[in-house]
A and B are shown apart, each in its own frame.
Chain A
Amino acid sequence: MNGQYASLLIALPLISAFFVPLIKGLGRKVVMAYLVLITALQTAIAGWVANEVYSTGKPIIVMAGGWKPPVGINLYIGHFAALFVLIIAVISFFMAFFSFKAVTVEPVDKYAMLFLLLMLGATGMIVTGDIFNLFVFMEITSITAYALTAYNKTGEAAEASMKYIVLGGIGSSFFLIGVALIYGATGTLNMAHLAQLAGAIDPTVAQVGLALIIFGLAVEAELFPLNAWAPDAYQAAPHPITVMFSALVVKAGLYAIARLLYILQNANGWSGVLKLVIIMATLTVVVAEFSALRQKDVKRMIAYSSISQVGMIAFALALGTQAGVDAGVFHMVNHAIVKALLFLTVGYVGVALGGTAIENFRGLGKRMPLTALTLTIGSLAAVGIPLFNIFWSKVRILLAGVEAGYSWSVALILGASVVEAVYYLRLIHTMWFVEGGERVRENFVIGVIALFLAALIIAIGVYPNDIWTIVQKAGQDVFNVANYIKNVPLMGVGA
């Protein structure tokens, strides 16, 4: 089949979102079933694209309107994008099922529409090959994220959403200033073309522009000084949306940071920006881990844990070595799976028992055995215990960090991981060794999804090599910019 069909990854959720208002009269069940159907279709397309990219070993370049880049916008679906588009689609598919149970507040049609647009935005951020198009997709993602955070219409939800809007607004303005500076210096917005011209940019402009862009993206990617919105939004948003935030939105932001960093690696003053990201990432890990330690609300605790993992990914992606980027991508995959499982089970407890405060988790092992079991597996994996998937990616990140000469940073991250073990073990202890409550009947579909994710965690933990080869290809896609330029058929302009 023609590779241009891969543009359906963007087109399908967009057109389906427009059809939601037409079917909203048919009732809540129909809208939710529609959501499941569309995400299933998206998964099928993403699966086909991933299969195509990994079997031919060549990226799919979609040219919008048939204009060759850098005149037209191109989508670049390489090994990285193919892998993450698939992860995004699968997680959205699972969350569509979870939404049946978890979203009881009306109006459900707006929820479905925003859900699809959030998936669209995250997919777009990952596949695009144009820096301004990246901004547009980032805004689609963040505006839908603002709206979904406030979806429950409580005071807390509005407050969390407002924090996110103000920070996100500042971030997107900074990003746009950065784009303006880079455009003013090079006259192009296409990433491949930018990579070619990167060496010729004035070092001050390159440094300021790149730093502003990183600051703008760091709001989405939850790096330290700009992540104050995240725990609030995670706590106040509907449970399936929390999963979407930690599994897709953050990943898209992190990827965009990594992509733009390596695109401009020939620019003078580049290594200074790398150091900035390393410092921000290390601070993210330390601050988030210590904040998680004193949380009473389990969802908020896991939100902080998610932020700390994100810091670790950013650290790995900014090391500037192939090993670091590979490890970072590996951790992105693992973190998406583990955090999806954790937020799913915690959210399900919140739906079934009415709240995610730690008191509700007393005796969960007897009350909801399946949920408690999968939550335990997820927690152990998040701590990074051997035989679970995060162990391997954490080890690789730390080794890559030492190799790149950032021992101080590695030491801080390792110290923070000890803290992580403390609060997860406290949660596990509350679930299994504290008495409380009656038995609650568990939902079959959610149990199956949770078991599937748990099985995936253990499968990757026991056989890490299969996924590691996939991840290495994806890492090369981000790191090897010369190859990236070669793959995009640039029209002979400028350069």
Chain B
Amino acid sequence: MIPAAFEYYRPKDMAGVLSILEEHGDDARVMAGGHSLIPMMKLRMADVPHLIDLQDVGGLSDIEISNDTISIGAMVTQHAIIDHDGLAEAAPILREASLQIADPQVRYMGTVGGNVANGDPGNDMPGLMQCLDATFTVVGADGERRIPAREFYEAAYMTARDDEEVLTSVTIPRPSGGYAYEKQKRKIGDYATAAAAVQIVKEGGSCASAAIAMTNLSDTPIYSQSAAAALVGSSVDDAAISAAIDAMLGDIDPTEDNRGPVAFKKHVAGVILRRAIERAWSRA
């Protein structure tokens, strides 16, 4: 419950953030909503001698929607995602997924950037962002880099972001077609036993394109291109859905924990993906 002591910084701009990161290297860490980092600090599982609070850094809380893309600042909270009517229209899967993350209090504080940058495979937004083919913008001493969500996750808590870089925004091509975020969890606020993000475009009764990503079924989110490929060209009938599930099961690699053994997680992953595909197809 009691975190170790740290030096606290609340810079007003990104230059201030980067200079602290540069000065203290691995000993410094940025904090957004604090709802993954503070719990880890309270358990002394995260040691952060220099804590940089991003709350006063301007320009990180904007949501911009154009004809082609959606840009979400890293400090946009889950609550703001749910509350934003324009976003609900442009990418309704974001609200559907956010409502399945944590609980009201956590959603007032927890941010999109923190969720995707954390690197915990239990987080829901990483898989969602892979499904949506999002791009993450990170900024460091050498300027900005843009990293596709599908290439961002390397292992549990290991991402393509360098320690001295800050994730500043998430950019998504405006999705089209049907969508679903389906999550099996033990109770409110739990990370998924299995979850699936699905977007499907229907043309003339058949599937023109699809994107599928799975949450908490490996040490990273799993973007399953083979599962999506099994749907494309089909009428998304039982056979096609079963083929997509079989393909997905070949891509995931769950481990046993208190959410269940591997065989159970694979079973649940199949059930969840079937439901997600059926719901997305019904909305397509």
Do A and B belong to a common assembly?
Answer: no
